[in-house]
Amino acid sequence: MSLDGALSVATGGLRLLDRQMARAADDIANAGTAGHTRKSQAGLAQTVAGAGNGVRAQAITRDVDLAVQAAQQRAGGDVAAATLRERLLGGVEAAHGSPENGESLGGLLGGLQAAFIDLREQPADAVRRGAVVEAAGQLAARLNGVSDAIGTARQGAQDALRAEVVAVNAGLSEVATLNRDIAREHAAGRSTAGLEDQRDLAIGGLAQSFDLSVIRAANGEVTLVARGGVVLPLVPGSAPFSLEDATVGSGAYHGGAGTLPGVMLGGRDVTRQLAGGRMGAAVALRDATLPRMQAEADLAASQLAHRLDQQGLRLFTDAAGTVPDPTQPYAGSSMIGFAGAIRVNPAVAADTALLRDGTQAVAGAPAGPTAFTPNPPGGPAGFATLLDRVLDFSFGGEQAAGVAQPGFATGGLGPDGTLASPLSGLRTLGDYGAALVAEQTGARAAATEALARAGSLESLLAGRFAERSGVDVDAEVAAMVQLQTAYGVNARVISTIQAMWDALFSAVR
């Protein structure tokens, strides 16, 4: 090999080593940067007529375990979904009060029953009648608070869904821009490793909004598909998704004749196709979980008012003085939102003697309560007929001796009648109230447990991904030492060639 050839080979080696050292330094500097993966830059040996002719630096590449990355992104979506559920359901749990202190619906129902038992001992005692009214007011206030908390959570789910639409549009635009840049760099034969890191980070953000799959093309571009089969449009600067703002009421629902808006994509409603992540959690909360909880609270309030009213005591009504009929279908009935409207009958609050005497007569029916006639003005001060009916039947499992209570509806719930409750087989107000509290407060605990599981899995997968594709600073420093040694060797080669040239020139002179 000529001296010129040897110098060219050595210089090419120095250029490769220089780039490899710069690449190692960049990895070390970005070891803590979100989304950065370990890079490598290989050299390609060049030959001429079968003889070595130096080395040429190849494009920087990355070694990413795509399966682990996809699993980690999916786990991140599960964490995001559980976090949203935990936050919104936490307000409902708080509104139920503390069961151990008797502040929940079950405890307050028991307190109202105990106040009636106390009044039964002395029906003429005004203080004991006042205690019944107070207990009834506390129970109505608790139902109002639970209903308000459910409504607040539903509105929070709607608002979260709107926020996710904005975030998804921004994320899709970012992925689209990076797609374009990667394809351009790939066509020019330049490295796309850094751009791919940025794109993966953006895709990870989208995966927190809903489950998606990534399809990779040979030119470096990707196609994103939501779990429901929706191909996500990738156009820089576009906003393909939309969702109208809305105020969520207890009777509002999505779909059919409902008033709640859906997530739109190109004029098509894709609300139910965007599963997983915060979007999937927000949709499920807004359209299923929370409406079901509202229906359960409404049933509890309606059955409470109705069972007392059946026996001759209209203790609870709404502002219009109405007592819903829980034997009718829930959808479209006056039961919707009754938990938020229930209050103590102002007539009873003004004249507590009605607790003893009764507010109205009951005609009686073979398949319902027996007939009842209120205590007339001037009647016996110890009149206990109504109080016995209330204690035996309103709080019991029968409407009359041998006639079972109709029970609590489990199907046909929600404003559109499409939801079902797991609270089945319950007959008494106390049993239903206790089960309702356990089920609704347990939803938050379930979300917290799901968050812990998803968080542990995400941490495990993040560790595996970092081990496989992350930057190992110690390994990079060791590699730099090796590169520095090789750089010194190449430099000595060039120095030797230079000395040989100098000697050759001296001989010529």
Q: What is the pLDDT of residues 412-443, one digit of tens each?
A: 999 999 999 999 999 999 999 999 999 999 99
User: What's the longest Cα–Cα distance across the chain?
Assistant: 143
- Joined tokens for residue 170: 């921004």
pLDDT at 370: 96
pLDDT at 468: 76
Q: What is the pLDDT of residues 315-359, one digit of tens each?
A: 999 999 999 999 999 999 999 999 999 999 999 999 999 999 999
Cα separation values, 147 from 296, 338, 390, 471, Å: 10, 9, 26, 51
pLDDT at 276: 94
- Joined tokens for residue 467: 């081990």
**Residue 145 pLDDT > 80:** yes
pLDDT at 19: 59
Kindly state the percentage of the chain with pLDDT values over 70: 82
Task: Tell me the average pLDDT of the chain.
Answer: 89
pLDDT at 355: 98
Cα separation values, 130 from 108, 415, 419, Å: 16, 36, 39
- Joined tokens for residue 329: 């279908």
Phi first, then psi: what are they for 76, rounded to 5°? Answer: -65, -35
pLDDT at 138: 97
Q: What is the pLDDT of residues 444-462, one digit of tens each?
A: 999 999 999 999 999 999 8
pLDDT at 469: 72
pLDDT at 484: 66
Residue corresponding to tokens 């489990």: 410
Helix H, strand E, coil C: the string for 361-405 is CECCCCCCCCCECCCCCCCCCCCCHHHHHHHHHHCCCEEECCEEC
The mean per-residue pLDDT over the stretch 476-490 comes to: 64
Q: What is the pLDDT of residues 21-73, one digit of tens each?
A: 665 665 565 555 666 666 665 656 666 666 666 666 556 667 788 899 999 99
**Residue 494 pLDDT > 90:** no
Please say whether the beta carbons of 131 and 119 come within 8 A.
yes
**Residue 226 pLDDT > 80:** yes
- Joined tokens for residue 136: 């009834």
pLDDT at 415: 96
Q: What is the pLDDT of residues 287-322, one digit of tens each?
A: 999 999 999 999 999 999 999 999 999 999 999 999
**Residue 16 pLDDT > 60:** no
Question: Is residue 497 helix, strand or coil?
Answer: helix
DSSP-derived letter for residue 260 is B
Measured distance CA(15)–CA(105) in Å, rounded: 77
> Would you kindly state where each structural domain of the chain is located, as residue ranges?
3-62+472-508, 69-456
Measured distance CA(178)–CA(312) in Å, rounded: 72
Measured distance CA(296)–CA(424) in Å, rounded: 11
Could you tell me which residues are beta bridge partners of residue 216? 222
Q: What is the pLDDT of residues 380-403, one digit of tens each?
A: 999 999 999 999 999 999 999 999
